[in-house]
């Protein structure tokens, strides 16, 4: 029996998994350096154990840029043979990932064949597939139906998925109140928006996000796998992340342990900020009644007695850092 459940657990225990060795060889770096990257959360190796033909790839700091190819069956391009020819070309020319954006008909027929033959990582967008897979009109689809699609994709061997969890009823209310300058450009987001407006329900990927995570744990972390999340929802990270890679303007601003990031800073509010402390104020915002900013714990000594300090959540750190325009 393996002594670990995920790639990260193995790496933190000093264990080199077969996947790490494969990735290290591809990247021309030492296996130990690769393992250190996995242990710190700077590198992920997305794999679904049911994707038997996969050749593991690493994604993250210090590794080569990976090429992703978008393709899939749609109402305009219904020819399975042509789409499979695209798959063959993607594999021939070395694409490391293939995103199956199929949204028409019985997409699982194409997807199963894709997973069977492709050594590249396979990604999908379950929201695109919901209507065709479930054979229901959008209004008749239930919240649990959407999760069934996620489960189906995981069972088929998909390695990574785009989950539209970012829009919720609070956001919808804001859209309706303040209007948007443009229409929703995301196909999945617009479908979810329409479903929410028609049913009055919360976004199922947001409301039942814990269940989505359980699906991923069951299918994407058996024995020795890692799950990579790319998200704009910092609440997800608070609940499930071990390590965080924070990217701003194309550059890695932070890479390391989640607890280390949040425990290093606090949110500071007060009436008067001493001039000598201004240089340490991150994302400083002043108003008629005082100021607020983010500040490293090592710099809060000497603030006025009426200063209020609060523990910083991940979202606080990112918002203040972005407001500041730099990472300090």
In terms of C-beta density within 10 A (0-12 exposed, 13-18 middle, 19 or more buried), how is residue 3 classed? exposed
Say if pTM beats, i.e. exceeds, 0.85: no
pLDDT at 259: 82
pLDDT at 236: 64
Q: Which of 64, 33, 59, 29 is nearest to 45 (CA)?
A: 59
* Dihedral (CA of 75, 77, 81, 84) sign: negative
Indicate the fold that domain 10-230 takes in CATH: TIM Barrel (3.20.20)
pLDDT at 16: 92
pLDDT at 328: 41
| CA 81 – CA 85 distance, rounded (Å) | 6
Greatest CA separation found in the chain? 72
pLDDT in tens, the chain (328 residues): 456 767 788 899 999 988 899 999 999 999 999 999 999 989 988 888 788 899 999 999 999 999 999 999 888 888 889 999 999 999 999 999 999 999 887 788 899 999 999 999 999 999 888 887 888 888 999 999 999 999 999 999 998 888 888 888 888 888 788 777 777 778 888 889 999 999 999 999 999 988 887 887 676 544 445 566 666 666 667 766 777 888 777 777 788 888 888 888 999 999 999 999 999 999 999 998 899 999 999 999 999 999 999 999 888 888 888 887 544 4
3 state SS for 2-59: CCCCEHHHHHHCCCCCHHHHHHHHHHCCCHHHHHHHHHHCCEECECCCCCCCCCCCCE
Check if the beta carbon of residue 5 is closer than 8 Å to that of residue 223: yes
Output the six-digit token pair for 164. Answer: 């539209």
pLDDT at 87: 94
| CA 195 – CA 141 distance, rounded (Å) | 8
| CA 150 – CA 299 distance, rounded (Å) | 46
Measured in whole angstroms, the distance separating CA 52 from the mean position of its chain's CA atoms is 23
pLDDT at 170: 87
Please name every residue paired with 44 in a beta bridge, in sequence order, or none if there are none: 59
| CA 7 – CA 169 distance, rounded (Å) | 36
pLDDT at 20: 92
Query: Which uninterrupted H or E stretch holds 133?
Result: helix 126-134
| CA 232 – CA 177 distance, rounded (Å) | 23
């Amino acid at each position: 029996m393996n002594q670990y459940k995920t790639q990260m657990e193995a790496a933190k225990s000093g264990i080199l998994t077969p996947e790490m060795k494969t990735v290290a060889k591809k990247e021309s770096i030492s296996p130990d350096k690769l393992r250190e990257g996995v242990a710190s959360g700077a590198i992920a190796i997305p794999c679904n154990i049911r994707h038997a033909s996969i050749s593991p790839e690493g994604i993250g700091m210090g590794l080569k840029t990976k090429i992703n190819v978008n393709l899939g069956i749609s109402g305009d391009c219904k020819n399975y043979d042509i789409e499979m020819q695209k798959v063959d070309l993607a594999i021939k020319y070395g694409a490391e990932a293939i995103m199956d954006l199929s949204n028409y008909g019985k997409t699982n027929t194409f997807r199963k064949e894709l997973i069977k033959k492709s050594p590249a990582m396979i990604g999908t967008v379950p929201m695109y597939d919901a209507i065709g897979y479930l054979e229901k009109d959008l209004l008749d689809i239930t919240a649990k139906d959407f999760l069934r699609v996620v489960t189906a994709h995981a069972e088929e061997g998909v390695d990574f998925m785009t989950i539209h969890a970012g829009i919720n009823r609070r956001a919808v209310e804001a859209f309706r109140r303040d209007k948007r300058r443009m229409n929703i450009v995301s196909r999945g987001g617009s479908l979810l928006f329409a479903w929410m407006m028609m049913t009055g329900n919360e976004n199922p990927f947001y409301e039942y996000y814990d269940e989505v995570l359980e699906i991923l744990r069951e299918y994407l972390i058996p024995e020795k796998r890692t799950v990579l999340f790319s998200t704009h929802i910092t609440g997800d990270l608070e609940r499930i992340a071990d390590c965080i890679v924070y990217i701003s303007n194309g550059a890695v601003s932070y890479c390391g342990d989640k607890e280390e990031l949040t425990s290093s800073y606090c949110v500071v509010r007060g009436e008067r900020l001493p001039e000598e402390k201004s240089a340490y104020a991150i994302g400083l915002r002043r108003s008629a009644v005082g100021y607020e900013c983010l500040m490293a714990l090592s710099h809060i000594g000497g603030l006025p007695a009426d200063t209020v300090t609060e523990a910083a959540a991940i979202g606080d750190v990112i918002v203040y850092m972005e407001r500041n325009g730099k990472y300090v």
